[in-house]
Amino acid sequence: MQNSTNKQNGQQSSGNSTNRPDVANEKVTALAGALDWVGMKAIESPVLLKDASGLAVRAAALVDAFVSLDQAEARGIHMSRLFKEAQDKFVSTPLSFSLLGEILTQFLVTHEGLSNQAKIAVHYQALLSRPSLRSENSGWRTYPVTLSAELARGGQPTFYLETLVTYSSTCPASAALSRQLIQDNFKNHFRGQDLDFMQVYEWLGSSRGINATPHAQRSTARIKIEVASTDYQAEQLINQIENALQTPVQAVVKREDEQEFALRNGQNLMFCEDAARRIRGALNEEESIADFVAEVRHIESLHPHDAVSFVSAGRNLRNF
């Protein structure tokens, strides 16, 4: 009776699934050829992230999943298999490099005869508690993180970690020019006078004393590394970069923290070239990092354009 009703309403019964057409299995008769990568970008998926206590917390992520199409006459891949394999694993198992390796292995198993390479990337926000510089406070900050992996059939997976660190950069040239103006101001004000310590001390603390300040700007360091150890964590990389630069943007800021931040900026004057070299020095010292590339971007307050530097280990990773 149900089938009859469906037909009367212009609807067809789904029937036996074995009768459903699958045009992806058709052979390509024209323009046949292999394709480098086929798959999906920005799959919405939950992931389980372990916090500092080891507790797995569910978070939102976007997943890119691809395989190569090496069978020249095959029309397409099985995208639903990539989707289902990724989501089934991410729902039940905490995110790790080892998990990405398992997923890639299954990508190739489900594409036997079609694909010889697979890759996956998981994009999420790492939520980290950061202490204030001087006060007994702490606050939360988020960092964009991407864990990714690639695997060739019969080989071993390669694992990558990417993040973005935001920091402050004070221009060394602007600082030198400001110092000159302050010197000239001091000379013009006290020329020919017998200097009194307290008079100079008070003058330096006034708006008349410091008549120029260097320009600073919010800046970003984008880093991608190839990890040599699957135990390597995103927080380790973030800490390394922030320690190298010394002026990461802050969460909770009281007056003593802002004063310390000003001091750190004054003691860590940086062109984008300086920041890139600091990052290279920090990453070269880490044995758990097999390769790296970094882009340093100073979002200029003096210019309408950005100042940018790139640096890499000079091995395989030369771009993002």
Residues 112 and 182 in one domain: no
Domain membership flag for residue 231 = no
pLDDT in tens, the chain (320 residues): 444 444 444 455 555 656 787 776 778 767 889 999 999 999 999 999 988 778 899 999 999 999 999 999 999 999 999 999 999 999 999 999 999 999 999 999 999 999 999 999 999 999 999 999 999 999 999 999 999 999 999 999 999 999 999 999 999 999 999 999 999 999 999 999 999 999 999 999 998 999 999 999 999 999 999 999 999 999 999 999 999 999 999 999 999 999 999 999 999 999 999 999 999 999 998 999 999 999 999 999 999 999 999 999 989 998 88
**Exposure class string for 19-36: b at 16+ Cβ within 10 A, else e:** eeeeeeeeeeeeeeeeee
Task: Provide the pLDDT for residue 15.
Answer: 55
Residues 104 and 184 in one domain: no
Residues 41 and 105 in one domain: yes
Task: Provide the pLDDT for residue 11.
Answer: 52
Domain count within the chain: 2
Domain membership flag for residue 96 = yes
Task: Provide the pLDDT for residue 320.
Answer: 86
Residues 116 and 38 in one domain: yes
Residues 116 and 181 in one domain: no
CATH of residue 52:
3.10.270.10
Residues 41 and 111 in one domain: yes
Domain membership flag for residue 268 = no
Closest CA to 279 of 315, 245, 316: 245
**CA 161, CA 146: separation in Å to the nearest integer?**
6
List residues bridging with 126 in a β-sheet: 143
Q: Are β-strands 117-131 and 138-152 bridged in parallel, bridged antiparallel, or unpaired? A: antiparallel
Residues 118 and 176 in one domain: no
Domain membership flag for residue 243 = no
Give the range of the structural domain holding residue 200, as residue numbers without chain letter: 172-204
Domain membership flag for residue 198 = yes
**Exposure class string for 244-273: b at 16+ Cβ within 10 A, else e:** bbebbbbbebeeebeebbeebbeebbbbbe
Domain membership flag for residue 88 = yes
C-beta separation of 172 from 271 below 8 A = yes
The residue written with tokens 């097999």 in the block is 290
Domain membership flag for residue 16 = no
Task: Provide the pLDDT for residue 31.
Answer: 82
pTM of the model: 0.89
Residues 177 and 118 in one domain: no
What is the distance in angstroms between the CA of the first residue and the CA of the last residue of the chain? 59
**CA 144, CA 319: separation in Å to the nearest integer?**
18
